[in-house]
Amino acid sequence: MWNNSSFSVNDTVSPMLRIIAILILASVITACSFMNPPNQYLLTEGVRARAAVTSLEQTGTFINHQPECDIGLSIQPPEGGEPFPSSIRRVVLLTDIPKLQPGTVLTVFYDARDRSKALIVGIGEPPSVSKEQAQAMALAGQDLLRELSAPGVADSYAAVVLAFEPLGIHINGDNPLAVMTVKVLPAGGGSYDAKITAVFGQSNLPKYQPGREIYVLVDKKNPQRVTVDRARM
């Protein structure tokens, strides 16, 4: 049943399902490797919205040689009404600073009870995923997971999470459907980026934040077919 942006597929779809699918609107959001750790609860409790950067100022503090910044935002509530201001203080990678200049459109989650709290999850307009698309992703991903888990079909490699972008839909409770961008690190070298569209268990979300290392299953015949290696979680 769909309820508050949630739905349940049949009982064969595990809440811990790791799936990969081609997301039609993946090109809308560019991978963005900055999350606001104190506000990660907004991934499941927040309101997804469109925001525009209004200011970007360095505070003068550096952590691991990366600048701490105050990012001013103008957030547009999804139900309509006037945009409201918000601000996020966080460490920003030097390579991400050009992506956060005033006027840049972002996807954010904000706290409806305290609008001063927000979380940036991607660059670009919030994607629109229908019930049918989301269910198709889940079912296709279940088939892929089963296929790549078969002996001899896939290799297990380390990977680094580059971005984690919830799509605003929850499956089987509080488990978000999201697009995770990873840098796959094959044992023989030659790292590359890949996207995993999956239903992620709510309790495991901290494991999938940018910078974390995970393990993924990679199709031996097509290295872009990737899913989370559940056996090595």
pLDDT in tens, 43-94: 778 888 899 999 999 999 998 888 999 999 999 988 788 999 999 998 888 8
Is the pLDDT confidence value at 182 over 90? Answer: yes
Per-residue model confidence as pLDDT tens digits over 193-206: 999 988 888 888 88
The answer to whether 55 and 88 have CB atoms below 8 angstroms apart is: no
What is the distance between the alpha carbons of residues 64 and 210, in angstroms, rounded to a whole number? 15
Of the pLDDT bands very low, low, confident and very high (cuts 50, 70, 90), residue 15 is very low
Extents of the domains making up the chain: 6-25+128-232, 30-123
Is the pLDDT confidence value at 141 over 90? Answer: no
Is the pLDDT confidence value at 26 over 50? Answer: no
Question: Residue 36 forms beta bridges with which residues?
Answer: none
Question: Residue 39 forms beta bridges with which residues?
Answer: none
- Residue 20's Cβ-side half-sphere holds a number of Cα atoms within 13 Å equal to 22
More confidently predicted of 40 and 161: 161
Q: What is the pLDDT of residue 174?
A: 76
φ and ψ of 232, to 5 deg = -120, 25
Q: Mean of the per-residue pLDDT values for the chain?
A: 80
Order of strands across the sheet that contains 66-76: 84-91, 66-76, 47-63, 105-110, 118-123
Is the pLDDT confidence value at 178 over 50? Answer: yes
More confidently predicted of 28 and 101: 101
Q: What angle do CA 172, 178, 180 make, to 5 degrees?
A: 140
Is the pLDDT confidence value at 34 over 70? Answer: no
